[in-house]
Structure 1
Amino acid sequence: MNLADLGDVQLHYRVDGPENGPPVVFANSLGTDLRLWDDLLPMLPAGLKIVRYDKRGHGLSSLPRGPYHMGALVKDVEALLDYLGVRDAVFVGLSIGGMIAQGLAVKRLDQVRAVVLSNTGAKIGTRDMWDERVAAVEASGIEPMADTVMERWFSPAFRATPELQLWRNMLIRQPAEGYAGCAAAIGGTDFYTTTAGLRLPALGIAGSDDGSTPPDLVRETVDLIPGSRFHLIRGAGHLPCVETPVEYANVLNAFLHEVGHI
């Protein structure tokens, strides 16, 4: 296990692959940790330098007092990549991770040469919706909403499998304060104007059964970036890297080839 002390936050991270390989950075969703990508990694080309991390308030990273702001989440990974000496990465962000990807690409084009915006949006939901979510978590924790979250995250077919319990367990074992802090960051974020100014290779990935970030939202967001492309994974929900890792890997690998990263 590795922990980067970045001052006001300590981030748990993992690096797989050769130190000098082309870097690919993964940022996961609200309520998950870096294990979100476990099934995907063996399907990626050999030789990549793969960086994963737990955002603040999640997994094994530290738990600064909330609420958080998107600027802090972007600054966290910016500092981590500087700490690791990562430049010219393809940044794969899912859900809140995709918002972080947009913010970092605007701020540090030396760190990000292409983005994969997976199951995300330039703006997700409304501030009132997220304020209600934060209040509920602060009052009662994550457990009471876990089953509803599973319905938004996964397709009916996946929810009928025993594996669902693993993801429910991961969700409810995240620190409630960290979940609430990051939920507040989502509620305060609107990247429509800034993302529309991006000029870099971009791929949008959506799941047809996504109850959190529907395909139209993902397409609308990625269409803000000229020359971007979009891929819909049918039969998958909010976490297609979990439900359909083979198709997800095929789409990601094709994009890595297209942008000359491998």
Structure 2
Amino acid sequence: MNISDLGDIKLHYREDGDPNGAPIVFANSLGTDLRLWDKVVHLLPAGLRIIRYDKRGHGLSDCPPGPYSMGTLVRDTEKLLDQLNVKGAVFVGLSIGGMIAQGLAVKRLDQVRALVLSNTAAKIGQPEMWQDRIAATRQNGIEALADATMERWFSRPFRESNELTAWRNMMVRQPIEGYIGCCAAISGTDFYTPTSGLRLPVLGIAGSEDGSTPPDLVRETVDLVPGSKFHLIRKAGHLPCVERPEEYATALTGFLRDIRHI
């Protein structure tokens, strides 16, 4: 296990692949840890430096009291990549990870040369919705949200499989303060204007059964950047890297080749 001391917080991260290879960074969704990408990283071509991390309040990273701001989550990522001497990475962000990706690209084009915006948007939901979720979590815990969340995350066939138990357990075992803190960060984020100013390669990935960030919402966001590409993964929900890892890895690998990152 690797822990990066960033001064005000310690983040858990993992590196795979070639330490001298072209960097690709993965940022996961609300309520998950870096294991979200387990099925995909092993399907990627050799020669990549693959970096994953747990954002604050999730996984094995520190969980300071919330609420968090998106600026804080972006700054955590920026400091981690500086500490790891990462430049010119392809940044793959899913859901809140995709929001972090947009914020980082606006701030640090030296760190990010291309984006994969997966199951995300420039703005997700309305502040009132997030405040209701925060209140429900404080009153009843993450467990009370778990079943409804699984319906948004996964297609019906996946929800009928035994694997669902692991993902439900992952969600409910995240620290409540970390979950609430990141809900607050999403609530306060609207990246439509800054993202529309980006000029870099972008691939959008959506799941046809996604109940959190439907395909049209993902497409609307990636269309803000001229020349962007979009890939729809059918029969998958909010986490297509879990349900359809082979198709996800194929789309990602094709993008990496198109931009000559591999």
TM-score with structure 1 setting the length = 0.99
Aligned AA for 2:153?
Answer: W
Q: Does 1:202 align with 2:198?
A: no
Q: Does 1:190 align with 2:202?
A: no
CA distance in 1, matches of 2:8, 2:183: 19
Instruction: Give CA-to-partner distance per residue, 1:92-148, whole Å, 9 cap, x none.
Output: 000000000000000000000000000000000000000111111111110011000
Q: Which runs of 5+ in 1 are unaligned?
A: none
Instruction: Give CA-to-partner distance per residue, 1:149-171, whole Å, 9 cap, x none.
Output: 00010001110100000000000
CA distance in 1, matches of 2:250, 2:35: 19
Instruction: Give CA-to-partner distance per residue, 1:21-47, whole Å, 9 cap, x none.
Output: 000000000000000000111100011
CA distance in 1, matches of 2:110, 2:180: 31
Aligned AA for 1:211?
Answer: G
SS at match of 2:261: coil
Return the offset for 1:17: 1.5
Aligned counterpart, 1:34: 34
SS at match of 1:72: helix
SS at match of 2:93: strand
Q: Which runs of 5+ in 2 are unaligned?
A: none
Q: Does 1:257 align with 2:262?
A: no
Aligned counterpart, 1:242: 242
Aligned counterpart, 1:89: 89
Q: Does 1:78 align with 2:78?
A: yes
CA distance in 1, matches of 2:85, 2:19: 10
Q: How does 1:1-150 map to 2 (within 5 A)?
A: 1-150=1-150
Aligned AA for 2:75?
Answer: K
Could you tell me the percent identity over the aligned residues?
72
Aligned counterpart, 2:156: 156
SS at match of 2:92: strand
Aligned residues of 1:204 and 1:230 also touching (Cα < 8 A): yes
SS at match of 1:50: strand
Aligned AA for 2:152?
Answer: R
Aligned AA for 2:61?
Answer: S
Return the offset for 1:18: 1.8
Return the offset for 1:9: 1.1
CA distance in 2, matches of 1:223, 1:138: 36
CA distance in 2, matches of 1:5, 1:134: 28
> Which moved further from structure 2: 10-19 or 248-257?
10-19
Aligned residues of 1:12 and 1:53 also touching (Cα < 8 A): yes
CA distance in 1, matches of 2:140, 2:156: 27
CA distance in 2, matches of 1:160, 1:3: 36
CA distance in 1, matches of 2:157, 2:112: 36
SS at match of 2:30: coil
Aligned AA for 1:206?
Answer: A
Aligned Cα root-mean-square deviation (Å): 0.5
SS at match of 1:61: coil
CA distance in 1, matches of 2:11, 2:190: 25
Report the count of equivalent residues: 262
Aligned residues of 2:127 and 2:188 also touching (Cα < 8 A): yes
Instruction: State the 4+ residue runs in structure 1 displaced beyond 2 angstroms.
Output: none
CA distance in 2, matches of 1:238, 1:195: 21
Return the offset for 1:174: 0.3
CA distance in 2, matches of 1:109, 1:64: 28
SS at match of 1:38: helix
